[in-house]
Amino acid sequence: MKPAWRADAPVPLEWKSVLMLVILSVAGLGMFAWPLIIPVSAESGLGDNSPLIFIALLPLLIFLVLAQISEKGMDTKALAILGVLSAINAVLRPLGAGTNGIELVFFLLILAGRVFGAGFGFVLGCTSLFASALLTAGVGPWMPFQMLASAWIGMGAGLLPHRLFGREIRGKAEIAMLIVYGIVAGYFFGIIMNLWFWPYLMGPAMGTGADLAYIPGGSFIENLKRFGIFTLITSTAVWDTGRAIINTILLALVGAPILAAFRRTLRKAAFNPEVEFVSDSR
Protein backbone atom coordinates (compact mmCIF):
# COMPACT_ATOMS: atom_id res chain seq x y z
CA MET A 1 0.00 0.00 0.00
CA LYS A 2 1.22 3.51 -0.74
CA PRO A 3 1.90 5.70 2.29
CA ALA A 4 -1.24 7.48 3.47
CA TRP A 5 0.43 10.89 3.42
CA ARG A 6 0.89 10.56 -0.31
CA ALA A 7 -1.90 8.32 -1.57
CA ASP A 8 -4.88 10.19 -0.14
CA ALA A 9 -3.37 13.67 -0.22
CA PRO A 10 -5.42 16.55 -1.68
CA VAL A 11 -2.38 17.49 -3.81
CA PRO A 12 -0.66 14.23 -4.79
CA LEU A 13 2.99 14.42 -5.73
CA GLU A 14 3.87 12.44 -8.84
CA TRP A 15 7.38 12.26 -10.21
CA LYS A 16 6.96 15.34 -12.43
CA SER A 17 5.81 17.42 -9.47
CA VAL A 18 8.67 16.10 -7.34
CA LEU A 19 11.16 16.95 -10.09
CA MET A 20 9.78 20.48 -10.35
CA LEU A 21 9.95 20.87 -6.58
CA VAL A 22 13.60 19.84 -6.60
CA ILE A 23 14.49 22.17 -9.47
CA LEU A 24 12.62 25.10 -7.96
CA SER A 25 14.07 24.47 -4.50
CA VAL A 26 17.63 24.35 -5.81
CA ALA A 27 17.08 27.49 -7.88
CA GLY A 28 15.35 29.19 -4.95
CA LEU A 29 18.19 28.39 -2.58
CA GLY A 30 20.59 29.88 -5.10
CA MET A 31 18.49 33.06 -5.30
CA PHE A 32 18.43 33.34 -1.51
CA ALA A 33 22.11 32.55 -0.99
CA TRP A 34 23.64 34.32 -3.97
CA PRO A 35 25.58 36.79 -1.76
CA LEU A 36 27.58 33.85 -0.42
CA ILE A 37 27.97 31.72 -3.54
CA ILE A 38 28.08 34.11 -6.51
CA PRO A 39 31.20 36.26 -6.77
CA VAL A 40 30.57 39.96 -7.33
CA SER A 41 33.56 42.14 -8.05
CA ALA A 42 34.03 45.30 -6.05
CA GLU A 43 34.49 47.24 -9.29
CA SER A 44 31.13 46.19 -10.71
CA GLY A 45 29.26 47.11 -7.54
CA LEU A 46 26.28 45.43 -5.99
CA GLY A 47 23.45 46.96 -7.94
CA ASP A 48 19.78 46.41 -7.18
CA ASN A 49 18.51 43.51 -9.26
CA SER A 50 15.81 42.39 -6.84
CA PRO A 51 13.05 43.28 -9.35
CA LEU A 52 14.67 40.92 -11.87
CA ILE A 53 14.71 38.13 -9.29
CA PHE A 54 11.08 38.88 -8.48
CA ILE A 55 10.10 38.59 -12.13
CA ALA A 56 12.08 35.36 -12.55
CA LEU A 57 10.85 33.60 -9.41
CA LEU A 58 7.14 34.38 -9.38
CA PRO A 59 6.33 32.60 -12.70
CA LEU A 60 8.18 29.54 -11.41
CA LEU A 61 6.00 29.47 -8.33
CA ILE A 62 2.83 29.86 -10.36
CA PHE A 63 3.97 27.21 -12.83
CA LEU A 64 4.68 24.79 -10.00
CA VAL A 65 1.23 25.31 -8.49
CA LEU A 66 -0.42 24.79 -11.89
CA ALA A 67 1.67 21.68 -12.53
CA GLN A 68 0.65 20.17 -9.21
CA ILE A 69 -2.99 20.95 -9.85
CA SER A 70 -2.93 19.48 -13.37
CA GLU A 71 -0.89 16.38 -12.48
CA LYS A 72 -3.88 14.56 -11.00
CA GLY A 73 -6.14 17.51 -10.47
CA MET A 74 -7.49 19.19 -7.36
CA ASP A 75 -11.17 18.54 -6.89
CA THR A 76 -13.59 21.05 -5.43
CA LYS A 77 -13.11 19.66 -1.92
CA ALA A 78 -9.36 20.19 -2.05
CA LEU A 79 -9.78 23.68 -3.50
CA ALA A 80 -12.31 24.54 -0.79
CA ILE A 81 -9.95 23.43 1.99
CA LEU A 82 -7.05 25.30 0.39
CA GLY A 83 -9.15 28.44 0.01
CA VAL A 84 -10.43 28.38 3.59
CA LEU A 85 -7.00 27.79 5.14
CA SER A 86 -5.37 30.42 2.90
CA ALA A 87 -8.02 32.95 3.93
CA ILE A 88 -7.57 32.13 7.63
CA ASN A 89 -3.80 32.52 7.36
CA ALA A 90 -4.19 35.76 5.42
CA VAL A 91 -6.32 37.15 8.25
CA LEU A 92 -4.13 35.78 11.06
CA ARG A 93 -0.86 37.15 9.74
CA PRO A 94 -1.64 40.88 10.02
CA LEU A 95 -2.84 40.41 13.62
CA GLY A 96 0.72 40.03 14.81
CA ALA A 97 2.29 41.94 11.92
CA GLY A 98 5.55 40.19 12.78
CA THR A 99 6.10 42.55 15.73
CA ASN A 100 8.78 41.05 17.98
CA GLY A 101 8.35 37.79 16.10
CA ILE A 102 4.60 37.45 16.69
CA GLU A 103 3.74 35.46 13.56
CA LEU A 104 0.44 33.59 13.64
CA VAL A 105 0.60 32.04 10.20
CA PHE A 106 3.09 29.22 10.60
CA PHE A 107 1.45 26.98 13.19
CA LEU A 108 -1.60 26.37 10.98
CA LEU A 109 0.64 25.86 7.96
CA ILE A 110 2.63 23.23 9.86
CA LEU A 111 -0.48 21.38 11.04
CA ALA A 112 -2.05 21.43 7.57
CA GLY A 113 1.14 20.20 5.92
CA ARG A 114 1.39 17.42 8.50
CA VAL A 115 -2.10 16.07 7.76
CA PHE A 116 -2.73 16.96 4.12
CA GLY A 117 0.74 16.20 2.81
CA ALA A 118 3.83 17.88 1.41
CA GLY A 119 2.22 19.01 -1.85
CA PHE A 120 -0.68 20.65 -0.08
CA GLY A 121 1.69 22.26 2.44
CA PHE A 122 3.78 23.73 -0.34
CA VAL A 123 0.79 25.18 -2.18
CA LEU A 124 -0.74 26.49 1.06
CA GLY A 125 2.50 28.25 1.95
CA CYS A 126 2.44 30.04 -1.41
CA THR A 127 -1.24 30.97 -1.37
CA SER A 128 -1.26 32.05 2.29
CA LEU A 129 1.56 34.54 1.86
CA PHE A 130 0.22 35.74 -1.48
CA ALA A 131 -3.25 36.36 -0.03
CA SER A 132 -1.72 38.04 3.01
CA ALA A 133 0.36 40.34 0.81
CA LEU A 134 -2.74 41.38 -1.14
CA LEU A 135 -4.71 41.92 2.06
CA THR A 136 -2.06 44.12 3.68
CA ALA A 137 -0.76 45.80 0.51
CA GLY A 138 2.53 44.08 1.15
CA VAL A 139 3.28 43.28 -2.47
CA GLY A 140 6.91 43.87 -3.33
CA PRO A 141 10.10 42.17 -4.49
CA TRP A 142 10.25 40.33 -1.16
CA MET A 143 6.87 38.62 -1.66
CA PRO A 144 7.96 35.63 -3.79
CA PHE A 145 10.81 34.96 -1.38
CA GLN A 146 8.38 34.90 1.55
CA MET A 147 6.08 32.64 -0.46
CA LEU A 148 8.85 30.18 -1.24
CA ALA A 149 10.21 30.14 2.32
CA SER A 150 6.71 29.51 3.70
CA ALA A 151 6.08 26.86 1.06
CA TRP A 152 9.22 25.02 2.18
CA ILE A 153 7.95 25.09 5.77
CA GLY A 154 4.58 23.62 4.75
CA MET A 155 6.23 21.01 2.57
CA GLY A 156 8.69 20.06 5.31
CA ALA A 157 5.84 19.47 7.73
CA GLY A 158 4.32 17.04 5.24
CA LEU A 159 7.62 15.16 4.99
CA LEU A 160 7.99 14.57 8.72
CA PRO A 161 7.95 10.86 9.63
CA HIS A 162 4.67 9.20 10.52
CA ARG A 163 6.19 6.08 12.03
CA LEU A 164 9.18 5.50 14.28
CA PHE A 165 10.55 2.06 15.13
CA GLY A 166 7.43 0.51 13.64
CA ARG A 167 5.02 2.57 15.75
CA GLU A 168 2.79 5.36 14.50
CA ILE A 169 3.72 8.78 15.88
CA ARG A 170 0.63 10.13 17.61
CA GLY A 171 -0.46 12.00 20.70
CA LYS A 172 2.13 13.83 22.80
CA ALA A 173 5.02 12.47 20.75
CA GLU A 174 3.58 13.96 17.58
CA ILE A 175 2.94 17.34 19.20
CA ALA A 176 6.49 17.34 20.60
CA MET A 177 7.88 16.60 17.13
CA LEU A 178 5.81 19.41 15.60
CA ILE A 179 6.92 21.83 18.31
CA VAL A 180 10.57 21.08 17.56
CA TYR A 181 9.85 21.55 13.87
CA GLY A 182 8.00 24.80 14.61
CA ILE A 183 11.04 26.13 16.47
CA VAL A 184 13.35 25.22 13.60
CA ALA A 185 10.89 26.73 11.09
CA GLY A 186 10.73 29.98 13.05
CA TYR A 187 14.47 30.46 12.92
CA PHE A 188 14.73 29.18 9.36
CA PHE A 189 12.24 31.74 8.02
CA GLY A 190 14.02 34.64 9.68
CA ILE A 191 17.52 33.57 8.67
CA ILE A 192 16.75 32.85 5.03
CA MET A 193 14.77 36.07 4.58
CA ASN A 194 17.63 38.01 6.16
CA LEU A 195 20.01 36.41 3.69
CA TRP A 196 17.99 37.80 0.80
CA PHE A 197 17.84 41.46 1.83
CA TRP A 198 21.09 41.70 3.82
CA PRO A 199 23.26 42.88 0.86
CA TYR A 200 20.79 45.65 0.03
CA LEU A 201 20.22 46.80 3.62
CA MET A 202 23.85 46.62 4.73
CA GLY A 203 25.65 46.99 1.42
CA PRO A 204 28.57 49.36 0.91
CA ALA A 205 26.39 51.71 -1.12
CA MET A 206 24.16 52.25 1.90
CA GLY A 207 27.05 53.58 3.96
CA THR A 208 25.79 51.79 7.08
CA GLY A 209 26.99 48.92 9.23
CA ALA A 210 30.47 48.77 7.74
CA ASP A 211 31.45 45.85 9.94
CA LEU A 212 28.30 43.90 9.01
CA ALA A 213 27.97 44.91 5.36
CA TYR A 214 28.18 42.57 2.41
CA ILE A 215 31.56 42.77 0.71
CA PRO A 216 31.44 42.50 -3.10
CA GLY A 217 34.32 40.25 -4.07
CA GLY A 218 34.81 39.14 -0.47
CA SER A 219 35.49 35.54 0.47
CA PHE A 220 32.73 33.09 1.40
CA ILE A 221 33.99 32.85 4.97
CA GLU A 222 34.20 36.61 5.46
CA ASN A 223 30.71 37.31 4.12
CA LEU A 224 29.28 34.35 6.03
CA LYS A 225 30.80 35.69 9.24
CA ARG A 226 29.38 39.16 8.64
CA PHE A 227 25.96 37.76 7.80
CA GLY A 228 25.96 35.57 10.91
CA ILE A 229 26.72 38.53 13.18
CA PHE A 230 24.14 40.69 11.38
CA THR A 231 21.44 38.04 11.79
CA LEU A 232 22.28 37.38 15.43
CA ILE A 233 22.16 41.06 16.35
CA THR A 234 19.21 42.23 14.29
CA SER A 235 16.92 39.22 14.05
CA THR A 236 17.68 36.03 15.94
CA ALA A 237 17.72 37.47 19.46
CA VAL A 238 14.20 38.92 19.24
CA TRP A 239 12.28 38.34 16.02
CA ASP A 240 13.23 34.73 15.25
CA THR A 241 13.11 33.67 18.88
CA GLY A 242 9.71 35.30 19.25
CA ARG A 243 8.48 33.46 16.18
CA ALA A 244 9.75 30.16 17.59
CA ILE A 245 8.06 30.84 20.94
CA ILE A 246 4.73 31.68 19.31
CA ASN A 247 4.89 28.49 17.24
CA THR A 248 5.64 26.49 20.38
CA ILE A 249 2.76 27.98 22.38
CA LEU A 250 0.16 27.63 19.63
CA LEU A 251 1.17 24.09 18.67
CA ALA A 252 1.12 23.03 22.32
CA LEU A 253 -2.28 24.62 23.03
CA VAL A 254 -4.29 23.91 19.88
CA GLY A 255 -2.16 21.44 17.93
CA ALA A 256 -3.97 18.28 19.03
CA PRO A 257 -7.58 19.43 18.38
CA ILE A 258 -6.68 20.98 15.03
CA LEU A 259 -4.86 17.81 13.96
CA ALA A 260 -7.93 15.79 14.92
CA ALA A 261 -10.22 18.13 12.96
CA PHE A 262 -7.96 18.03 9.91
CA ARG A 263 -7.81 14.22 10.00
CA ARG A 264 -11.57 13.96 10.21
CA THR A 265 -11.80 16.29 7.22
CA LEU A 266 -9.25 14.22 5.30
CA ARG A 267 -11.07 10.99 6.07
CA LYS A 268 -14.52 12.32 5.16
CA ALA A 269 -13.31 14.11 2.02
CA ALA A 270 -11.91 10.83 0.63
CA PHE A 271 -9.66 12.47 -1.96
CA ASN A 272 -8.62 9.01 -3.14
CA PRO A 273 -11.47 6.63 -2.21
CA GLU A 274 -9.59 3.61 -3.56
CA VAL A 275 -6.93 3.99 -0.86
CA GLU A 276 -7.62 2.90 2.68
CA PHE A 277 -7.12 5.76 5.14
CA VAL A 278 -4.72 4.51 7.80
CA SER A 279 -4.48 7.57 10.03
CA ASP A 280 -6.87 8.28 12.88
CA SER A 281 -7.94 11.39 14.73
CA ARG A 282 -6.24 10.62 18.00
Please report, for the domain that includes residue 215, its CATH number. 1.10.1760.20
Examine residue 1 and state whether it is found in any structural domain, yes or no: no
Examine residue 276 and state whether it is found in any structural domain, yes or no: no
Examine residue 3 and state whether it is found in any structural domain, yes or no: no
Number of domains in the chain: 1
Residue by residue, pLDDT tens for the chain (282 residues) are 344 344 567 777 777 778 888 888 888 888 888 778 776 655 444 544 554 665 676 667 667 766 766 666 677 888 889 899 999 988 888 776 556 567 888 999 999 999 998 889 998 998 888 888 887 766 777 788 888 899 999 999 999 998 888 788 899 999 999 999 999 999 999 899 888 778 776 555 444 556 777 777 777 888 888 888 888 887 777 788 888 999 999 999 999 999 999 999 888 876 654 444 444 444
Query: What range does the domain containing 26 cover?
Result: 15-41+50-268
Examine residue 6 and state whether it is found in any structural domain, yes or no: no
Return d(Cα 130, Cα 126) in angstroms, integer. 6
Examine residue 124 and state whether it is found in any structural domain, yes or no: yes
Examine residue 247 and state whether it is found in any structural domain, yes or no: yes
Examine residue 282 and state whether it is found in any structural domain, yes or no: no
Examine residue 279 and state whether it is found in any structural domain, yes or no: no
